[in-house]
Structure 1
Amino acid sequence: MNGSEDRDPETRSRWLTPLVFGLAVFLGLWVTVTPDAASGRGAQLAWGAIAVTGLMVGSRLPVLAVVVTAAATSFAWLVGVTADPFVLTGFAVFRLAEMRGGRRFPWWMFGGAFVVVVASAILSVEDTEDRARGMLLSALVLSVAWALGARTREVRREAAARSRAEERLRLARDVHDVLSHSLGTIGVHAGVAAHVTALGADELREALRGIENDARTSLSELSTLLRRERSDLEADAAVSSPLSSALAGIARTAEKAGLSVHLDVGDDIDALPADVRTTLLRIVQEAVTNVVRHASASSVTVGLRVSSDEVTIGVADDGQGARGEISLGNGLTGVRERAVLLGGTADFTSSASGFTVSATVPLRRGSAGARG
């Protein structure tokens, strides 16, 4: 039921738009022409009705719409009951080019206009120059209509391709964020259990419980992500629990991997907008995961500060830092992309004393009020 309701406005626009446009052109460029003979008004109404009717089938049968409108307008020109420079046909040509057009211009339209001009000259020597000028104007109208339709088609295809690329990038970023943290932590726990020979039975069980918990958490987040993709829920729903609790969970996981974690966050982070909370969580999650996996650090500090118009994030470790120039992998690239998506920035600095991830995420108008 809802699907049919959603399609109704689009269905109505397919015939209502050409109907309104066709009637406007008919009243302006057909009815205003006074036929020579008494029977000319009937022919005018008949050919005009055929042209408008043909225009209305353009969304489903664009070629037929071009043929019908062009034929009706041509005959109307020959009997002198219209001044329409093939504007109705131009609308049909626009639809045809929008749906099926390419870069090559259909020169057959110029050929058709030439045939009408020649026929007008043969059948009636009166006003031949005016008709010739009208046909030249008609050729211009059809040319512009085709060019606009083809360009519209090209723009829509580019927009669709760009949308698909952005969707693939967003999905790849989400999957990376969901799996990278938990799988990295699982690897650390498994490495400890495998290489520490003095590990007792209780410690081994604790390590296995940690691996099990991380695996369950990862599967739960992945399931939520897939469910969100299928049901078209907003990505902002990624953070359902309070941000402070999620950050504390990241800290506990990092501490199990042997890091000393210091959380320095404000009291108002849980009242931030959902999209901001999601971005903050993913940035901190990725930064801490990188510390666990790559930094050879003993401690990490996570700081979040909320001001009236932005949130600043800093994750700094005391590890070995990057060797040489910083190379942005998928994780750090995702950090920067997430910040940029909300109009923020992300920077990465490395020194002999460690590696720092810094980011700034602006708050939209009204966000401050949301913090209560």
Structure 2
Amino acid sequence: MRLMERWRPLAQDGLLAAVLAVLLSVVVSVTPDGGVLDLAAVLAGSLVLVARQPAPLVALLVSTVCMLVVAVHIQPGPTAAFPVLAAVFAAVSARHRLAAALAGTAFLSAGLVADLIGDDGAVRSLQDTSLLVGWFVAAGVAATVARHRQAYLEEAERRAAEAERTREEAAGRRAGEERLRIARELHDSLTHSISIIKVQAGVAVHVARKRGEDVPPALLAIQDASGDAMRELRATLEVLRDSDHPDGEALASGLDRLDDLVERARSTGLAATVTISGTRRDLPAETDRAAYRIVQEALTNVSRHAGGAGAAVRIDYADGELVVRIDDDGEADPDAPPVPGTGLLGMRERVAALGGQLRAEPRPEGGFTVRAELPLGGPS
């Protein structure tokens, strides 16, 4: 599109030059006094208009001189002024008003003198000259109007671009302020609560061990989970405070922490297994995080809703996608699909953002399945 816009003026000027060259060549050929010199002058004066926008002064000079030769020699009438008019228009548009006025005056004066000396008579010469004066003035006025209109359009485009940039900056500033507000709220509420949970769990474990008692697995799971929650919350806060901060990305959980996640689930009494197929490889950061979160949410739901059921986690590294599947052997009813909660909605949003597909539903043989297909190309 930009290439077409760049070459369109040149094509238009080329078409104008060709039309004038053909028209004036016909005029020269039907004029008794027309000769090879006149034909060459007509072709040069017309075809030079191709360069009237990149080199308006050159086009003005060449067309004026060439058409003066034709006008003085064979006196073809007002048609000889057409190339000069086009060159005057381009010169005025390029802010060369004085050069355009001098060229127009020279052409009109020489043409008038030639007509008066010739056989056309004074009356006809004055009539033709008056007509040409009107044409030259009209060309100058039209060029001035066109130039001011173009300047207005460019200014309007500049202001529109500036307004758009200002709106984007304002939107970015509001988004940044909102991220900071959310970060403060999370820090003031969740960080304090999770810290208390972690400290209390650590104290309880320490006291139990000091007394020589067995530490309950659930208490150890609470201690580990609270530590992981604090780590992930800090990473989230870093991302919220600075979306370009690399540490937030580095600290985010991925499938490299899948074993720890499953081990924590087992410590709560959930019988969980992990099966990985295909060739393990580095994943896009968003895909890696989404896969971890899907497994995390699915195991959480099994622990909360499936009561004593076991869960099987399968990770399949396929050619063009990563398939994450979590099946449990609970008592989900295929005829009564659960109402999607925040967790399922969050999973669907993550998968949709990556251009993948998610299926979360009861299995015909019993239990519940979550299957996510994540393209490895990243979001579309």
Question: TM-score if structure 1 supplies the norm length?
Answer: 0.49
Q: Which has the higher contact order (CA 8 A, sep 6+)?
A: 1
